[in-house]
Amino acid sequence: MNRRQSLRLIAGAVGAIAAGGLSRSVAFAQTAPAQPAGPFKLPPLGYAFSALEPHIDAQTMEIHHDRHHAAYVNNANQLAARWPELGKMPIEQILSDLSKVPDAIRTGVRNNVGGDWNHTFFWELMTPGGAREPSGDLKAAIDSSFGGTKEMMDKVNAAGGGRFGSGWAWLVVDKDKKLDVISTANQDTPLELGAKPVLGVDVWEHAYYLKYQNRRADYLKAWWNTVNWDKAAANYKTAKG
């Protein structure tokens, strides 16, 4: 779901409430945090906080979405108040070339606009439904690049497990249109490397510590149960261009 679709979803939910109806989307809607003024908006999660149980617990999801992601959005809006161009450019364009961002706010943009983009990607990749394993073109590419799905998953788990401190592990289409596994620090995105993500997993402690404490490997193993491979296939198609 992109930002525009997210806004449509909110608009639709508000309309349904106004009409006195309780649609499925409203039944799933969370109590959204207050939306900040500014061009960046916190997208709704699209499913219940508890939807990814037992793999990711509801409290982690609520804090992660409503506080951590919301903080990146709030900070991005404060940066947009200082440099209005930020709110006018497509977010992927900003993150693909941070050299265009003024020096004084570049680190803030990297961390907070990056954090907003990474988390939106992450929420959309996870689902209580959807395909449970890769198929079609994506499966063929995974098999040819890594020798199989399990081998690819092992590489992502190693990249996430090996990330010192905070960051992300990604399956990407690199700038040569080949599948690769990479890790980025903090809220750095694959976009500035010229890579487009197919899937990505947040390995910041806030993503798993309440349930898994220091056992990041156990979180990574469980996380695969939340991946919607239909969404990963769509990401792959977009990334291949």
Residue 204 near Mn ion by CB under 5 A: yes
Please tell me the count of residues contacting Mn ion according to CB under 5 A.
2
Using CB under 5 A as the binding rule, whether residue 146 contacts Mn ion is answered as no
x/- track of binding to Mn ion for residues 45-84 (CB under 5 A): ----------------------------------------
Closest CB to Mn ion among residues 124, 202: 202
Nearer to Mn ion, 70 or 80 (CB): 70
Binding test (CB under 5 A) with Mn ion, winner from 124, 180, 188, 202: 202
**Distance of alpha carbon 9 from its chain centroid, rounded?**
18
121/229 with CB nearer Mn ion: 121
Cα distance between the two ends of the chain: 18
> Closest approach of Cβ 115 to Mn ion, in Å?
7
- Interface segment toward Mn ion; rule CB under 5 A; list 25-33, 74-82, 100-108, 200-208: 200-208
Helix-, strand-, coil-residue percentages of the chain, each rounded to 5: 60, 10, 30
Note the Cα 173 to chain centre separation in Å.
Answer: 16
**Piece of 11-19, 27-35, 89-97, 204-212 that binds Mn ion (CB under 5 A):** 204-212
Residue 233's contacts (CB-CB under 8 Å, 6 or more residues apart) are: 131, 134, 135, 136, 137, 138
Q: How many CB atoms lie within 10 A of CB 238?
A: 12
- Residue 117 within binding range of Mn ion, rule CB under 5 A: no
Would you count residue 188 as binding Mn ion (CB under 5 A)?
no
Q: Detail the DSSP E strand segments found in 45-139.
A: none
54: preceding bond cis by omega (within 30 degrees) = yes
Our finding on whether 124 is near Mn ion (CB under 5 A) is: no
183 membership: H or E segment, kind and range? strand 179-185
Query: Which residues here bind Mn ion, judged by CB under 5 A?
Result: 202, 204
